[in-house]
């Protein structure tokens, strides 16, 4: 650790912008961005799976509210949703006096809620599409075997739907990473927040924003690589036999 710090210090010796202080801002930003995106994707996914199943329900009172949720969250900008949740929670009468305020006080939690609800809506639609396109023969075969609805869902419909949804979901992950850049407007020190800080302090837009663009580019490539790998493993059976 000691040697790393001296090495960095020498590297940064004749550089007034990328000092240890600003680099630590970028480091903090990276940690915040990754946490925010990862958590919202996981929770959003957990939310989306039951919603996607229920979205196909024959009962209107189950189907319609989910449709409405997806419609609203996919039809409005994430920035507006973030503002509504960040400032909206404050106007719940007396919320500052409850235990909830302890978590809502931090900008991280309202942002996490907004991001989760947003990605949840998109993911629900992605899975809905994948479930809908289950080959009819597979369902008929499951029925013929006397499988119950829940067993069929678990063994037949969901596993094949997950595979089909994978490419679209990969895009959604990248989309969330990029969308998370707006976290800086509610004072979260994410990657973009760090870049804005450096820009404002040194009036050096190229250094500040090109550096952060490069980090985002690396993260994006990482995600693309990960999903290619997953697709290769999970979708191998869909490849043409002759390669």
Partner 1 sequence: MNFSKLLSIGVLGASMIAGVANAEVRDIRIGVDVPYEPMEYRTPDGDLTGFDIELGNALCAEIGIQCEWVVQGWDGIIPGLQARKYDAIMSSMTINEQRREQVLFSEPYITPPSAWFAPTDTEITKPSKESLEGKTIGVQRGTLQDNYVTDLYGDVADVNRYATADDMVLDMDAGRLDIVFLDFPIGKSTLLESEAGDYQTVGKKITKPKKYFGEGFGIAFRQRDKELAKAFNEALATLKDNGTYEEIHTKYFGE
Partner 2 sequence: MINLHGYGPRLMEGALVTIELAVLSLILAIVLGLATASAKMSRSWALHRFATLYTTVIRGVPDLVLMMLLFFGGQIGINQVTDWLYYQFDIDIFINVNEFVAGVGTIGLIFGAYMGETFRGAFLAVDSGQIEAGRAYGMSHSLVFRRIRFPQMMRHALPGLSNNWMVLLKTTALVSVIGLSDMVKIASEASKATREPFTFMFIVAVIYLLIASVSEWGFARLQKRYDVGFEEVD
Interacting residue ranges for partner 2, rule: CB under 8 A: 71-72, 74-81, 83-84, 87-88, 90-91, 174, 177-182, 185, 192, 195-196, 199, 203, 205-206, 209-210, 212-213, 216-217, 220-221
What DSSP designation does 106 have? S
Burial 85-117 (b: 16+ CB within 10 A, else e): bbeebeeeeeeeeeeeeeebeebbbbbbbbbbb
Token pair belonging to 4:
């790393």
Residue 106 or 140 having the CB closest to partner 1:
106
- C-alpha separations of 42 from 55, 86, 113 in Å: 20, 21, 12
Instruction: Compute the distance between CA of residue 209 and CA of residue 192 in angstroms, rounded to an integer.
Output: 8
Which 114-143 positions form the footprint of partner 1 (CB under 8 A)?
A: none
Question: Of partner 1, partner 2, none, which one does residue 135 interact with (CB within 5 to 8 Å by kind)?
Answer: none
With beta carbons less than 8 A apart as the criterion, state whether 165 and 130 touch. yes
Q: In the bound complex, what is the minimum distance in angstroms from residue 169's beta carbon to partner 2?
A: 16
In order, the DSSP letters of 51-84 are HHHHTT-S-HHHHHHHHHHHHHHHHS-HHHHHHH
Residue 145 or 203 having the CB closest to partner 2:
203
Residue 199 or 227 having the CB closest to partner 1:
199
Q: In the bound complex, what is the minimum distance in angstroms from residue 177's beta carbon to partner 1?
A: 22
Q: State CA 139 to chain mean position distance.
A: 31
Residue 168 or 230 having the CB closest to partner 2:
168
Out of 114, 119, 193, 195, the only residue in the binding site for partner 1 (CB under 8 A) is 193
Q: State CA 119 to chain mean position distance.
A: 6
Question: Of partner 2, partner 1, none, which one does residue 227 interact with (CB within 5 to 8 Å by kind)?
Answer: none
Q: Which of 118, 65, 111 is nearest to 86 (CA)?
A: 111
Does 196 participate in binding partner 1 (rule CB under 8 A)? yes
Out of 69, 175, 202, 209, the only residue in the binding site for partner 1 (CB under 8 A) is 202
Residue ranges binding partner 1 (CB under 8 A): 87, 90, 96, 101, 105-107, 185, 187, 189, 193, 196-197, 199-203
């Amino acid at each position: 650790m000691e040697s790393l710090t001296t090495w960095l210090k020498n590297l940064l010796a004749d550089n007034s912008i990328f000092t240890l202080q600003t680099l630590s801002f970028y480091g903090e930003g990276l940690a915040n961005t990754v946490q925010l995106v990862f958590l919202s994707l996981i929770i959003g996914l957990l939310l989306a799976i039951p919603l996607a199943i229920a979205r196909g329900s024959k009962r209107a009172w189950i189907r319609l509210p989910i449709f409405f949720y997806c419609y609203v969250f996919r039809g409005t900008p994430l920035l507006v949703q973030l503002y509504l949740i960040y400032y909206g929670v404050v106007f719940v009468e007396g919320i500052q006096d409850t235990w909830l305020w302890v978590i809502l006080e931090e900008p991280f939690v309202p942002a996490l809620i907004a991001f989760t609800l947003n990605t949840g809506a998109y993911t629900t639609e992605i899975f809905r599409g994948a479930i809908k396109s289950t080959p009819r023969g597979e369902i008929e075969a499951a029925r013929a075997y006397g499988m119950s609805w829940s067993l069929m869902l678990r063994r037949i419909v969901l596993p094949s739907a997950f595979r089909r949804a994978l490419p679209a979901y990969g895009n959604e992950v990248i989309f969330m990473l990029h969308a998370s850049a707006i976290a800086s407007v509610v004072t979260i020190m994410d990657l973009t927040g760090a870049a804005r800080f450096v820009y404002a302090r040194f009036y050096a837009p190229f250094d500040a924003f090109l550096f952060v663009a490069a980090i985002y580019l690396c993260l994006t490539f990482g995600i693309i690589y990960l999903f290619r790998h997953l697709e290769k493993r999970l979708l191998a059976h869909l490849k043409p036999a002759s390669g």
